C-alpha cells in the first residue's frame, strides 16, 4: 500500500540491461521509479478480462500465468511469466485487458503506476525503446506458442515448453546447474500446451524414459539439453536474447528484400 523505499526494482533494471545498454542517467531514472511491492498466494487473481488497470507490475519472484476462457473448466494459457517479466506492460496502451492473470505460485510483485512509466518514457527515449522492446519479445514468444500448440505433437510440445522455460530462467540467472523452480501441476502443463492432463502425464513419462528431463511438479532439471532441444524442435532465436540494435546496422537493405515485381 505505502510506497516502498528499498531499491528492489533492481530486477527490472537487470532485465532491461539484458537487452539494452543504459547510461548512468537512465539507470538513475529507472531506480527512481516509484513502486510498491506485494506478495500473493498461489492462485490469486491479479487481473481479469475487462479490467482497466492504471498500473503494471514486475515479477520479482514466482510465476504468473496468462489465460483466456477462464469460465470453462480448462483454462487455456497464453503465457507463463517468470521473475523479471513485466507481463501486463501492454496495459499501458490497451484499453481493456483481454486475458486473466493469476499467481501460479506464491509470488511477489512490484507495481508501478502507468503515469510514472509514461513520464519515464517521455523523458528517456531509449528507455521508451527498451520497454517497447520488452513487449515485442513477449509477442515473439506468443508467436512461438502458436506454432507449439497448433503444429507440434504432444511430446514435442512438452519438450519445447521445458526448453523455453529453462532458457528464460537461465537468462535471468535462475537456473544454476540446469535446474530451476517450476511449480506447476500436470493439469497446468495441460492448459499451457492444449492437451489433456492424462496425455501430459504419459508424454512426461516418455520424456523421463528418454532421460531428457526430470520434473516433479516443483523443480525442473534438464538432463540432456541437446537431446531435449532436438526432441522439442527448439531454437532459441525467437527469445531474442542479447542486446537489440536500436541503431541497427542491417545487412538486408530494402532493395535486397523486396525485388520489384
**How many positions of this chain bind DNA (CB under 7 A)?**
17
Whether the CB-CB separation of 84 and 130 falls below 8 Å is answered with no
By the rule CB under 8 A, 73 interacts with its own copies: no
Single out the residue of 65, 78, 203, 231 in contact with its own copies (rule: CB under 8 A).
Answer: 78
CB of 196 to DNA, least distance (A): 4
By the rule CB under 8 A, 150 interacts with its own copies: yes
By the rule CB under 7 A, 199 interacts with DNA: yes
Question: DSSP string spanning 43-63?
Answer: T-EEE-TT---SEEEEEEES-
Q: What are the cell numbers at 207? A: 520424456
CB of 21 to DNA, least distance (A): 41
Single out the residue of 7, 34, 122, 173 in contact with its own copies (rule: CB under 8 A).
Answer: 122
**φ, ψ of residue 31 in degrees (nearest 5):** -65, -25
Task: Output 28 or 139, the one with its CB closest to its own copies.
Answer: 139
Task: Output 52 or 202, the one with its CB closest to DNA.
Answer: 202
Helix (H, G, I), strand (E, B) or coil at 65: strand
Closest CA to 149 of 67, 222, 59: 67
By the rule CB under 8 A, 114 interacts with its own copies: yes
237 binds, among its own copies, DNA, none (CB under 5 to 8 A by kind): its own copies
Binding to its own copies by CB under 8 A, coded x per residue (else -) over 23-62, reads -------------x-xxxx--x-xx-xxxxxxx-------
Segment interacting with its own copies (CB under 8 A) among 4-12, 73-81, 201-209, 214-222: 73-81
By the rule CB under 7 A, 206 interacts with DNA: no
By the rule CB under 7 A, 32 interacts with DNA: no
Whether the CB-CB separation of 212 and 227 falls below 8 Å is answered with yes
**How many positions of this chain bind its own copies (CB under 8 A)?**
81
Segment interacting with its own copies (CB under 8 A) among 25-33, 160-168, 209-217, 230-238: 230-238
By the rule CB under 7 A, 95 interacts with DNA: no
Single out the residue of 53, 129, 194, 244 in contact with DNA (rule: CB under 7 A).
Answer: 194
Whether the CB-CB separation of 16 and 22 falls below 8 Å is answered with yes
199 φ/ψ sector (left φ>0, alpha ψ -120 to 50, else beta): alpha
Q: What are the cell numbers at 98? A: 483481454
DSSP H/E element including 114 = helix 114-123
Using CA atoms, how far residue 217 sits from 105, 152, 159, 181, 229, in Å, is: 11, 23, 15, 9, 20
Question: Restricting to residues 141-180, which ones interact with DNA according to CB under 7 A?
Answer: 153-155
251 binds, among its own copies, DNA, none (CB under 5 to 8 A by kind): its own copies
Contacts of 48 (CB under 8 A, 6+ apart): 70, 97, 100
C-alpha angle 237/239/245, rounded to 5°? 80
Task: Output 144 or 171, the one with its CB closest to its own copies.
Answer: 144
Amino acid at each position: 500500500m505505502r510506497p516502498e523505499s528499498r531499491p528492489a526494482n533492481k530486477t527490472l533494471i537487470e532485465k532491461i540491461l539484458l537487452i539494452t545498454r543504459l547510461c548512468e542517467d537512465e539507470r538513475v531514472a529507472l531506480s527512481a521509479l516509484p513502486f510498491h511491492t506485494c506478495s500473493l498466494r498461489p492462485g490469486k487473481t491479479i487481473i481479469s478480462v475487462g479490467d482497466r488497470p492504471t498500473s503494471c507490475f514486475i515479477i520479482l519472484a514466482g510465476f504468473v500465468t496468462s489465460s483466456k476462457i477462464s469460465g470453462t473448466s480448462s483454462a487455456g494459457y497464453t503465457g507463463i511469466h517468470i521473475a523479471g517479466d513485466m507481463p501486463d506492460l501492454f496495459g499501458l496502451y490497451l484499453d481493456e485487458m483481454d486475458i486473466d492473470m493469476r499467481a501460479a505460485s506464491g509470488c511477489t510483485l512490484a507495481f508501478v503506476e502507468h503515469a510514472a512509466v509514461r513520464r519515464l518514457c517521455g523523458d528517456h527515449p531509449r528507455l521508451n525503446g527498451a520497454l517497447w522492446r520488452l513487449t515485442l519479445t513477449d509477442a515473439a514468444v506468443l508467436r512461438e506458442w502458436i506454432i507449439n500448440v497448433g503444429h507440434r505433437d504432444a511430446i514435442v510440445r512438452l519438450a519445447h515448453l521445458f526448453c523455453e522455460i529453462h532458457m528464460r530462467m537461465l537468462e535471468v540467472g535462475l537456473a544454476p546447474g540446469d535446474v530451476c523452480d517450476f511449480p506447476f501441476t500436470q493439469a497446468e502443463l495441460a492448459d499451457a500446451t492444449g492437451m489433456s492432463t492424462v496425455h501430459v502425464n504419459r508424454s512426461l513419462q516418455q520424456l523421463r524414459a528418454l532421460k531428457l528431463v526430470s520434473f516433479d511438479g516443483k523443480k525442473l532439471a534438464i538432463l540432456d539439453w541437446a537431446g531435449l532441444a532436438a526432441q522439442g524442435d527448439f531454437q532459441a532465436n525467437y527469445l531474442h536474447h542479447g542486446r537489440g540494435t536500436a541503431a541497427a546496422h542491417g545487412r538486408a537493405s530494402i532493395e535486397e528484400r523486396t525485388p520489384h515485381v
